[in-house]
Structure 1
Amino acid sequence: MSGPPFKRIGPRPLGLHLGLSSSTLSSALAALPLARENKIPWLDGLQEEADALAEDLKSHDLAHLMQVVGERAHFHVSEMLSGIKKYHAHPYQRAMEEPALLHQVGAMRLLDYAPDAPSGSPIVFIVPSLVNRDYILDLMEGRSFVRALAAAGLRPILVSWGAPGDAEQSYNIEDYLLKQLLPAFDVVCEANQGQTIHMLGYCMGGTLAVAAAQLRQSALSSLITLASPWNFHADLGAAAKMFLSQKMLWSAVVEQQGSMPVDILQSFFASLDPNLCLKKFGLFNRMDMDSQKAREFVAIEDWLNDGVPLARRAAMDCFTDWYTDNRPYRGKWTVGGQTINPEKLNIPVMIAVPKSDRIVPAASALGLAEQLSKPTVVTPPSGHIGMVVGRQAARGLWQDVIDWVTG
């Protein structure tokens, strides 16, 4: 199997992922004697299981247990490293037809996936996250959310943010909304007067879409948010809280670099699920490398490692105003002099909250539903990414959106 013509460097940041995996397994080994003596402060509700575990462990020789756990830890690390090596060598390359360019301002482009759609076709104006490439919504053949919408008779128009250029280097979140997102939406409205337009936001793009929908709701038929954070304090894990508490460190990096580097952003996402790399590359190692399942894994992993930096002021807004101060949920977020308040939305709103999201906790996404009078909540049977590209996406989220827009 020949390798790809480009050099893969993921999972990013590789050193952090390797360190987290080794630390997890080393901690398990160190905790074994304490678990055997039932001296670990377990979470509420787990004490009964802990008692049974301690009794079971006491029936085995401690030295033998340590040896078995150590061997198992070595096996998992070796399997992960083998999986990463196979990923680096995999020949898959993304090859999708470029959509029509509808509009461009600075680094931001509007991509039209159905320019020849019949007049009157409902338009879905799609806002992705600022920190990930938009092509997760057009990943590969058979795994393209936007092309599925087009095939269903809709006209998806996708915002492609791109990496911050000269114009965007000084942008904060409000600038992205007022100088790029809302003017781009106005272009679509002016060219399609009288047509039905729905706004859809994915992840952080959904948070932006809430503000945009409030400021342009007279032109909208509905708002759709997909795994979009709103209550940024809800169910935030200990590792993520620790990362956010290091403000002096990451703010110094942002000031020095002029932006939030991709690897720092990836470090934050890794803190949300520290063992993910260990688990997923172990599974990949056992796949048939010629299978469609392996190609899909590589496609998603390539996208994950193809992130973009976040402009300095926008990064500070996200980490300080959103994750630290929780301003959107607390009703303290203002854009263009207006306080963003979901209670002001008079249009129908659908909120998708995937069942197993490790990036945006369900309680965070549902924070938006709490502040709406009659939201429609759907729960796709997948995770944050699987919701839009997984094997169940076509009959799950894709169909939910199609039914919502056409119904």
Structure 2
Amino acid sequence: MIDQQRRVVPSDVENFFDKYSRGARIVAEGAQADTGQTPKEVVWTKNKAKLYRYEPSQEKQYRVPILIVYALINRPYILDLMPGNSFIEYLVGQGFDVYMLDWGVPGDEDKDMTFEDYVLDYIPRAAKKVMKTSGTDEFSLIGYCMGGTMSAMYASLFPEKLKNLILMTAPVDFSKEHLGLYGMFTNEKYLSASSIADAYGNIPGNLIDTGNRMLKPITNYVGTYVNMWERLFQDKPMETWLAMNKWVNDGPPFPGATFKQWIGDFYQQNKLVKGEIKLRGRRVDLSSIKAPFLSIAGKKDHICAVPQAEAVMDLIGSEDKEFFVLDAGHVGLMTGRGAKKGLWPKVSGWLAERSEKV
């Protein structure tokens, strides 16, 4: 009996310290994970931006290609997190021709980039390349988070070739009553976007991330690592946690001039819903959008509250339009078990009805 105990106890202690050592390395060095693994090729570039076309996993089922536009904050591989937990992999598997615009990582020389550049130059040229590569004269556009706000602006100014438009957790109405803590964080009394942009040039990604985390500080700063230690010591799978933690801490810089517009024109003055946004003299009028339209929001989303997303329904000119709410948060609706049963099949089914079979 004593001999058996002598053999078991050291093994348990060694296992404990192995797990502790692994957790300590993750905390100190950051999570490491293979993300964005769905096979793809770069079909177009401009400055730091790249347009990816994803390799089909089966014969194409639908004629109309999909262009996905993500935000300037965080990295777009949240849409292609890892095999088996990838929105893009799912759409490709359903027979869609899928493209994604990756904004890349801006350098110091990009601090003067504005929404005019992104909405009037980058997205239109990417869309043109999508249609040329797919051999079509129309396409579907999916915008996520700020990428949805940008997609709405694009759709209002370039409605001609747009077959379908989907906005996911995309803020449109920045009225103070919808913003919660964001309203306080971005209030012009406390935040001067111009001063921050002048000081930094490009706004560091970790500075943006800190602001987002402070909306739920206990969950984001304590809960995340409590979850990690529980997974380690209970021998639960770590792959998804590692991929998500890598993504959360991988935010690129935010071009300073765009940051000033985002905070000043949207959060502080709410110009989009007032019809006061102008890009190189062209007024953004959301009523110009006529394409079939789907807007998706998360009931637990603290970054884009449901009313911020729902407001677009009264502003666009589409006759075929739907607002769909999931019982999920800003990121949770895109990844994980709930996404596979909620957002992914909803988007795929809605597009399938409006994309024409090959």
Post-superposition Cα deviations, 1:96-116, rounded to whole Å, max 9, x if no partner, equal 255111110110000111368
Counterpart position of 1:297: 241
Counterpart position of 1:160: 102
Residue 100 of structure 1 aligns to which amino acid in structure 2? E
Quick one: distance in 2 between partners of 1:84 and 1:230? Answer: 40
Deviation at 1:296, TM superposition (A): 1.1
More deviation, 387-396/312-321: 387-396
Residue 203 of structure 2 aligns to which amino acid in structure 1? M
Equivalent runs, 1:118-133 vs 2, <5 Å: 118=60, 121-133=63-75
Counterpart position of 2:42: 101
Counterpart position of 2:170: 228
Counterpart position of 1:237: 180
Counterpart position of 1:26: none
Residue 27 of structure 2 aligns to which amino acid in structure 1? H
Residue 213 of structure 2 aligns to which amino acid in structure 1? A
Structure 1 counterpart SS, 2:301: coil
Counterpart position of 1:61: none
Counterpart position of 1:4: none
Counterpart position of 2:330: 384
Deviation at 1:138, TM superposition (A): 0.6
Structure 1 counterpart SS, 2:152: helix
1:214 aligns with 2:175: no
Residue 236 of structure 1 aligns to which amino acid in structure 2? L
Distance 1:404 1:207, change over 3 A: same
Deviation at 1:356, TM superposition (A): 1.0
Q: TM-score, normalised by structure 1?
A: 0.74
Quick one: distance in 1 between partners of 2:31 and 2:185? Answer: 38
| Kept in 2: contact 1:220–1:347 (CA 8 A) | yes
Equivalent runs, 1:185-334 vs 2, <5 Å: 185-194=127-136, 196-233=138-175, 234-238=177-181, 240-244=183-187, 245-248=189-192, 251-277=194-220, 278-288=222-232, 290-292=235-237, 294-334=238-278
What's the C-alpha RMSD, in Å, of the aligned pairs? 2.6
Structure 2 counterpart SS, 1:388: coil
Post-superposition Cα deviations, 1:85-106, rounded to whole Å, max 9, x if no partner, equal 4742787521525511111011
Q: TM-score, normalised by structure 2?
A: 0.83
50, 53, 57: which one aligns with 1:112: 53
More deviation, 141-150/252-261: 252-261
Post-superposition Cα deviations, 1:343-401, rounded to whole Å, max 9, x if no partner, equal 11111110001121111111111121232354201122311111111211112111011
Quick one: distance in 2 between partners of 1:317 and 1:333? Answer: 10
Structure 2 counterpart SS, 1:130: coil
1:140 aligns with 2:82: yes
More deviation, 179-188/105-114: 179-188
Structure 2 counterpart SS, 1:228: coil
Counterpart position of 2:285: 341
Quick one: distance in 1 between partners of 2:331 and 2:240? Answer: 12
Structure 1: gaps spanning 5 or more residues: 1-80
Distance 1:282 1:86, change over 3 A: farther
| Kept in 1: contact 2:266–2:272 (CA 8 A) | yes
Residue 178 of structure 2 aligns to which amino acid in structure 1? D
Quick one: distance in 1 between partners of 2:138 and 2:77? Answer: 24
Residue 291 of structure 1 aligns to which amino acid in structure 2? K
Counterpart position of 2:123: 181
Residue 205 of structure 2 aligns to which amino acid in structure 1? V
Quick one: distance in 2 between partners of 1:345 and 1:273? Answer: 35
Aligned-residue identity in percent: 25
Residue 236 of structure 2 aligns to which amino acid in structure 1? S
| Kept in 1: contact 2:131–2:138 (CA 8 A) | no
Distance 1:86 1:195, change over 3 A: same
| Kept in 2: contact 1:109–1:161 (CA 8 A) | yes
* Bigger CA radius of gyration: 1
Quick one: distance in 2 between partners of 1:266 and 1:126? Answer: 23
Residue 198 of structure 1 aligns to which amino acid in structure 2? S
Deviation at 1:270, TM superposition (A): 2.1
Residue 167 of structure 2 aligns to which amino acid in structure 1? T
